[in-house]
Amino acid sequence: MMTEDDEPLSSPVSGIERRIQELETAVLEGAEEFIFQAIGRGELEAIRIKHPPTDEQWRLYRERAEANPFMAAPTFNPDAMAPELIAAAAKDPTITVDEAVALWDTLSDGEAAQLYDAAYEVNMEATTVPLSATGLDEIQGSDDNSLTRSITESLGRSTPDG
pLDDT single digits (tens) 96-150: 999 999 999 999 999 999 999 999 999 998 766 555 554 444 444 444 444 444 5
Domain housing 43: 32-158
114 lies in a domain?
Answer: yes
Does 46 have pLDDT greater than 60? yes
What's the pLDDT band for 42 if we cut at 50, 70, 90? Answer: very high
Report strand pairing: 148-153 vs 32-37.
antiparallel
**Angle (nearest 5°) at CA 34 between 78 and 130:** 85
27 lies in a domain?
Answer: no
What's the pLDDT band for 73 if we cut at 50, 70, 90? Answer: very high
Rounded average pLDDT over 77-97? 94
Contact 122, 160 (CB under 8 A): no
Rounded average pLDDT over 58-86? 95
22 lies in a domain?
Answer: no
Contact 89, 47 (CB under 8 A): no
Q: What is the mean pLDDT of the chain?
A: 78
14 lies in a domain?
Answer: no
pLDDT higher for 37 or 131? 37
pLDDT higher for 154 or 7? 7
Rounded average pLDDT over 20-45? 80
Rounded average pLDDT over 19-34? 69
Q: Measure the CA dihedral 156/115/102/44, to 10°.
A: -150
Does 152 have pLDDT greater than 60? no
Rounded average pLDDT over 46-56? 97
101 lies in a domain?
Answer: yes
21 lies in a domain?
Answer: no
88 lies in a domain?
Answer: yes
Count CB neighbours of 137 within 10 A.
9
Instruction: Please tell me the predicted confidence (pLDDT) of residue 132.
Output: 54
Rounded average pLDDT over 41-54? 96
From the number of C-beta atoms within 10 Å of its C-beta (0-12, 13-18, 19+), residue 118 rates as buried
Rounded average pLDDT over 66-94? 94
Helix 41-50, helix 78-89: angle, nearest 10: 150
Contacts of 128 (CB under 8 A, 6+ apart): 145, 146
Provide the number of structural domains found in the chain. 1
C-alpha Rg value of the chain to the nearest Å: 23
102 lies in a domain?
Answer: yes
